[in-house]
Chain A
Amino acid sequence: KNEVEQSPQNLTAQEGEFITINCSYSVGISALHWLQQHPGGGIVSLFMLSSGKKKHGRLIATINIQEKHSSLHITASHPRDSAVYICAAPLTQGGSEKLVFGKGTKLTVNP
């Protein structure tokens, strides 16, 4: 079982719709990362959050540490938001820490 699970795997929306992508993790963490992978392949970090909510433009990320769940919301979606969104959680194994990545959610926003 993957320690970081995302849903849905694929999401198609019409321009202007409100988007929600979910991330659940099975290990205790101190923070969670959301990343965006553009159709061209580049990966950028969107958020790192350890509690509550963070907002950047039309993107909002929330996290509930107790429930081991985070959501990424996109308001007023636009075709340029089409990308793969990835969540990642830090995992400590054998004294070292590494990020465990979800498989990603592919978002397509149609005009």
Chain B
Amino acid sequence: NAGVTQTPKFRVLKTGQSMTLLCAQDMNHEYMYWYRQDPGMGLRLIHYSVGEGTTAKGEVPDGYNVSRLKKQNFLLGLESAAPSQTSVYFCASSYSRGANNEQFFGPGTRLTVL
């Protein structure tokens, strides 16, 4: 099993460009999450999904959109990138959502917006 994979691993964008980050999991997990990690701050939830075809906003959703067309994939889109979106993005998945369920993380995508 590959677990949780993310593509790409690195990306540099210019302000105003768009891109999509892809997250894939092969554990048949219902729940998937997108986080961003910035220096001096804890991981912050951008959007999450509780199942195929569903998405919900997290703590810092502005400037991002997501889609979960297939259970195994969770896409994070930036329509018009801004320097404030320079960050490391982590995708995670879990069997169910709740305090007692372990989240499995992808390797991260380092995004720089110039």
Contact = CB atoms under 8 A, between A and B. Distances in A.
Interface string A78-103: 00000000101010000011111111
Interface residues of B, number: 25
Contact of A103 (B42, B100, B102, B104): B42
A2 interface: yes
Given A31-B100, A48-B100, A99-B45, A41 B56 contact: no
A45 B42 contact: no
A30 interface: yes
Interface in A18-65: 29-31, 33, 35, 41-45, 48, 50
A96 B47 CA distance: 12
Interface residues of A, number: 26
A99 B102 CA distance: 11
B74 interface: no
A44 B90 CA distance: 12
B107 A99 contact: no
A4 interface: yes
Contacts of B42: 2, 4, 86, 88, 100-104
A86 B105 CA distance: 13
B2 interface: no
A41 B90 CA distance: 10
Nearest to B48: A98
A84 B92 CA distance: 18
Contact of A42 (B41, B99, B107): B107
B97 interface: yes
Interface string B86-113: 0010101000011111111101101000
Given A42-B108, A96-B56, A86 B43 contact: yes
Given A98-B45, A101-B43, A42 B98 contact: no
Nearest to A49: B100
Nearest to A100: B42
Top 5 A-B pairs ranked by shortest CB distance? A101-B42, A90-B99, A43-B105, A101-B43, A31-B99
Given A2-B42, A98-B59, A102-B42, 4 more contacts: A30-B100, A50-B99, A86-B42, A101-B43
